[in-house]
């Protein structure tokens, strides 16, 4: 249990508390920002639709919790001019972090060059905001494709590589994370990792934290290098920290 409590504490500090539901409302964002400030400390960030950036920025002022949003989401095939405009507007509205869905379908169709080109353009538009590149590993599926997408995103200048949108049938898996960690380690660059979608329990969180410790060393994980993209896992982490039974966490994104 002590190991689970430690994992829950580490996981909470690295959590991107997320609401990317299609029916998300301003009231939902108020609740998200309130939940982000837990009795056991704040989460790392909230991740939400672009139209809620200013609201979250105001609600979280002075908390140290960062505001993340998504662009080219969830398909990754928006015209590049639109994605640049989305990114510039999001940063102007106060987004600290941009989660970009890379053109992963182009990779599957034999056009790998589209990924680093897109990442590089969006990185420039971020104007200092952190850029997380979403690979959609559950669709890429094959380890070689996942590794290639990860390398291409890093080549383009991504600050983090992220598994998933949470909008497809298969999201974060240990196999995808293992492949991504190998690419990060080989790159020798300060690139972070974000497992996203399907992280439901403290045991799930501990599995990914243990994988990072084994691959990158016990001091690597921190909010600057590692995030969980999830919402359902928060209640599980808090229950572990408070010595309570784990709740039914639902979908986990």
In whole angstroms, what is the distance from residue 44 CA to residue 105 CA?
30
- Catalytic site includes residue 123: no
Question: Largest Cα–Cα distance of the chain, in whole Å?
Answer: 50
Candidate list 16, 96, 99, 204, residue with the active-site label: 99
- CA–CA gap between residue 94 and residue 58 (Å, rounded): 10
Helix count and strand count (H, E) for the chain: 11, 10
- The span from the CA of 162 to the CA of 169, in Å, is 16
User: Residue 162 catalytic?
Assistant: yes
Cα–Cα distance for residue pair 223/151, rounded to 1 Å: 21
123, 151, 162, 206: the catalytic one is: 162
Q: What is the DSSP string of 140-186?
A: H-SHHHHHHHHHHHHHTT-SEEE---S-SSS---HHHHHHHHHHHHH
Whether 79 and 115 have beta carbons less than 8 Å apart is answered as no
d(CA 114, CA 20): 26
User: Cα(first)–Cα(last) distance of the chain, in Å?
Assistant: 25
Is 105 an active-site residue?
A: no
What does the block give as tokens for 63?
């908390």
Q: Which one from 123, 132, 151, 194 is the annotated catalytic residue?
A: 194
Catalytic residues: 99, 162, 194
């Amino acid at each position: 249990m002590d190991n689970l409590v430690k994992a829950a504490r580490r996981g909470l500090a690295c959590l991107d508390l997320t609401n990317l539901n299609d029916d998300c409302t301003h009231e939902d964002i108020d609740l998200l920002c309130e939940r982000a400030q837990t009795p056991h400390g704040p989460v790392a960030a909230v991740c939400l639709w672009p139209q809620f950036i200013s609201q979250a920025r105001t609600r979280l002022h002075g908390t140290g919790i960062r505001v993340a949003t998504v662009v080219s989401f969830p398909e990754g095939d928006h015209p590049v001019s639109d994605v640049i405009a989305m990114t510039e507007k999001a940063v102007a509205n106060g987004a600290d972090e941009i989660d970009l869905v890379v053109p992963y379908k182009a990779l599957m169709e034999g056009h790998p060059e589209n990924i680093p080109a897109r990442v590089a353009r969006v990185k420039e538009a971020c104007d200092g905001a952190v850029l997380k590149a979403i690979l959609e590993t559950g669709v890429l599926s094959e380890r070689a494709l996942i590794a290639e997408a990860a390398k291409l995103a890093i080549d383009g200048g991504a600050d983090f590589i992220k598994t998933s949108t949470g909008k497809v049938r298969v999201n974060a898996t240990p196999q995808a994370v293992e492949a991504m960690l190998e690419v990060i380690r080989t790159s020798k660059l300060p690139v972070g990792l974000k497992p996203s979608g399907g992280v439901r329990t403290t045991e799930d969180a501990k599995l990914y934290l243990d994988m990072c410790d084994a691959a990158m060393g016990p001091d690597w994980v921190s909010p600057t290098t590692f995030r969980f993209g999830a919402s359902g896992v928060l209640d599980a982490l808090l229950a572990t920290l408070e010595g309570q039974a784990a709740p039914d966490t639902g979908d986990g994104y």
